[in-house]
Amino acid sequence: EPEVTQTPSHQVTQMGQEVILRCVPISNHLYFYWYRQILGQKVEFLVSFYNNEISEKSEIFDDQFSVERPDGSNFTLKIRSTKLEDSAMYFCASRVQVDSNQPQHFGDGTRLSIL
Amino acid sequence: GDSVTQMEGPVTLSEEAFLTINCTYTATGYPSLFWYVQYPGEGLQLLLKATKADDKGSNKGFEATYRKETTSFHLEKGSVQVSDSAVYFCALSSYSGGGADGLTFGKGTHLIIQP
């Protein structure tokens, strides 16, 4: 069964550095998402992306964050000038079409640790 | 805004016990409702879903019924197994017309099944 893949599984970065988290969504999916889960807290929506532009973003997704689909397969989340509070598990998800009845499929996540 | 409230964990049960994990929601319009499960070290997997009132989602012996009158989507299983030990997330999706809404998650309920 096709799945969403995320790399790396664990990223350790010094505070103030830039980090790029990578995702390969399921190949025929058109909608892409990033979520964040701070340890012990709920999964929070960051951003959704369709047709090469951001469709929706949460309050968390400020100027520090950006997303990109640099080619036909990858979907990346860039965090500029990382802060300690950016430490979290970051999940990528994708969905095949516009109907919200269709579920989002999640990757296994990237654990980001900011030192 | 939309919100999901789940019972706090951890919930500890013996094998073959009956399981209920409560979930209530607040949303505008008519959301779709989901249960996701996260096994240790893995990503979020869709367990079941319901897209309209009185729908019952079911999978792997788990069931949940979309109750509009009580704004609830409680997860149940008649006889749990050790392999059901995981974190369970209730979530909703409100279709805003753009088709790209992010999911709103509850905090998750950690379920521990003892042999």
A75-115 pLDDT, tens digit per residue, is 999 999 999 999 999 999 998 876 656 788 999 999 999 99
Helix, strand, or coil (residue B29): coil
Q: What's the gap in Å between the CA of B52 and the closest CA on chain A? A: 10
Q: With an 8 Å Cβ cutoff, is A38 touching chain B? A: no
Distinct helix (H) and strand (E) counts, chain B: 0, 12
**Taking all residues of chain A, what is their mean pLDDT, rounded to a whole number?**
91
Note whether A42 contacts B105, CB cutoff 8 Å: yes
> Span B100-110, mean pLDDT?
86
Q: What is the pLDDT of residue B1?
A: 80
Beta bridge partners of residue A32, listed in sequence order: A49, A94
Provide residues of B within 8 Å CB-CB of chain A: 32, 34, 36, 41-46, 49, 51, 89, 91, 93-95, 98-108
Residue A97's contacts (CB-CB under 8 Å, 6 or more residues apart) are: A30, A31, B99
Residue A59's contacts (CB-CB under 8 Å, 6 or more residues apart) are: none
Note whether B43 contacts A31, CB cutoff 8 Å: no
**∠ CA A21-A25-A29 to the nearest 5 degrees?**
145
Note whether A100 contacts B95, CB cutoff 8 Å: yes
User: Is residue A81 within 8 Å of residue A13, measured between CB atoms?
Assistant: no
Residues B45-102 have pLDDT tens digits of 999 999 889 999 999 999 999 999 999 999 999 999 999 999 999 999 876 544 457 8
Q: With an 8 Å Cβ cutoff, is A103 touching chain B? A: yes
